[in-house]
């Protein structure tokens, strides 16, 4: 995966994403389910939702939450999927967000096949 930080890449990551309300409903329904909050799908969708919200209303607590969610996804993928931060040049918070966006886009694409 090549990390891309362009605005076009952000738009393409969420082009076919569900409505924000639908995604929030999905996350709420699974919050508290045993083990689900640590699943990759939950972390990925949570990172995407918070990123989309932060892009709409760039308030500091929301931006921080979006960055933290991307960090959690990266940490999960390092631990469970062999992600190499050095190999993907994941040095800064922006890199983690870009990784989360691209992972979400790839996941959505796979879901729509």
Quick one: 40 exposed, middle or buried, by C-beta within 10 A (0-12, 13-18, 19+)?
middle
DSSP 8-state class, residue 73: H
Spatial contact of 74 and 48, defined as CB atoms under 8 Å apart? no
The model's confidence at residue 2, banded by pLDDT at 50, 70 and 90, is very low
**pTM for the full model?**
0.84
- Which two three-digit tokens encode residue 81? 């999927």
DSSP string, 10-31: HHHHTTTPPPHHHHHHHHHHHT
pLDDT over 70 (residue 5): no
């Amino acid at each position: 995966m090549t990390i891309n930080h362009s605005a076009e890449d952000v738009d393409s990551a969420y082009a076919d994403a569900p409505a924000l309300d639908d995604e929030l409903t999905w996350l709420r329904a699974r919050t508290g389910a045993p083990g689900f909050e640590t699943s990759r799908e939950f972390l990925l969708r949570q990172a995407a939702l918070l990123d989309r919200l932060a892009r709409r209303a760039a308030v500091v607590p929301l931006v921080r939450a979006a960055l933290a969610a991307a960090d959690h996804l990266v940490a999960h993928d390092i631990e469970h999927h062999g992600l190499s931060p050095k190999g993907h040049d994941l040095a800064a918070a922006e890199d983690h967000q870009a990784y989360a966006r691209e992972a979400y886009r790839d996941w959505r694409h796979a879901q729509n096949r």
